Amino acid sequence: MIVWVNGAFGSGKSTLVDALRPRWPEALVYDPEMVGFVLREIVEVPTGDFQDLPLWRRQVANLAVGLIEEYGRPVLVPMTLVDPGYVGEIFGALKDAGVDVHHFFLKVSREVLEERIDGRIHAPDDPEREQRIRSWCKDRIAPCMAAADTLPGGTVFLDGELSPEELADLVLTRIGAGSDR
């Protein structure tokens, strides 16, 4: 089983997964962004977004399936994924492999997203890079918010402004898992 936690940058995906970990210790955490970072070291990413690489999408699905097959454990995936074609491609590959995907999308107001993005530090020793990262994240708020209408049926929308513990309760109840419900 995969629990995919989706939403805009700053919506609380990683924070929610961090709240789920101690309550569902058998679950593995898999961040597909790491696959993108590896690919970025090997090949050029013409658009700047590694999700546009077909190899990224293929490897994301393949590694998720491999984790489940090799370790027989559920997998938590905190990753923004809003392009309908890419969602279909990755979720389709997971479905074809017989993997059950529970898809959650954290809805958060634009103002809160911008506050959270501004509150993060990604490149403390490089102010120019820091600004580029923040701008990149903020530029994707509108497309992420608009994508909520294009996500697959069965997507569970959660109020990303709830506390991480409240969100973890909702997720664990919905999937019927975890040790502290």
Beta bridge partners of 2: 75, 101
pLDDT tens profile 70-89: 999 999 999 999 999 999 99
What pLDDT is recorded for position 2?
Answer: 98
User: What's the predicted TM-score (pTM) here?
Assistant: 0.91
Superfamily in which the 2-172 domain is placed by CATH: P-loop containing nucleotide triphosphate hydrolases (3.40.50.300)
Give DSSP secondary structure letters for 111-175. Answer: HHHHHHHHH--S-TT-HHHHHHHHHHHHHTHHHHHHHGGGSPTTPEEEETTS-HHHHHHHHHHHH
Q: Residue 178 has what pLDDT?
A: 62
Give tens-digit pLDDT for 112-167. Answer: 999 998 888 878 888 898 888 888 889 889 999 898 889 999 999 999 999 999 99
Q: Report DSSP state, residue 107.
A: E
